[in-house]
Amino acid sequence: MFRVFLKVNDTCPHCGEDLHHHRADDFPAYLVIVIVGHILVPIILVVETEIAPAIWVSMTLWPSLALAMTLGLLQPVKGAVVAIQWFGGMHGFENAKKARARRRERRLTRAFSFSRPNPSAPASPPAARRSSNPPSKSGSEWWRRAPWWSHR
């Protein structure tokens, strides 16, 4: 997904999915600050009050720990942000999401194709049965429609 540390590939090298639509911007960095802060600040408070290490230990340990956590988290968090934008069809990912919905609909239609009318069967059912049991318009073939989450 990444061609350099935080440079997202224009397309997925595995499946060719367009990734250049992402607008991650500063959000991954903001999330990493929130995560690292919430993990590190309580640890620092406890260690500094309970153990109170020498000042040079504090001044080297905490910045290097913060740096290591930040560098370790930036790439996965950015990947997750791009994935959320892709999944939600945000920005330029809209067409990719519609294409996924169309593929899913085609799969569903194929999976339920046994319910299509049999061409070798008689053209119309007996008249008596047809009049007593009219086909319902609204409830018919609901499975052919796209699922509710793909409607806009």
Q: Which is nearer to Zn ion, 12 or 43 (CB)?
A: 12
Q: How far is the CB of 79 from Zn ion (least distance, A)?
A: 12
Q: Find out whether 10 and 18 touch, Cβ atoms under 8 Å.
A: yes
Q: How far is the CB of 81 from Zn ion (least distance, A)?
A: 16
> CB count, 10 Å around CB of 19?
21
Q: Which is nearer to Zn ion, 15 or 55 (CB)?
A: 15
Q: Which is nearer to Zn ion, 7 or 14 (CB)?
A: 14
Residue 31 has, within 13 A of its CA and on its CB side, a CA count of 15
Q: DSSP 3-state assignment of 107?
A: helix
Residues making contact with Zn ion (CB under 5 A): 12, 14-15, 17
Q: In angstroms, rounded to a whole number, what is the distance separating the alpha carbons of residues 72 and 28?
A: 12
Q: How far is the CB of 144 from Zn ion (least distance, A)?
A: 29
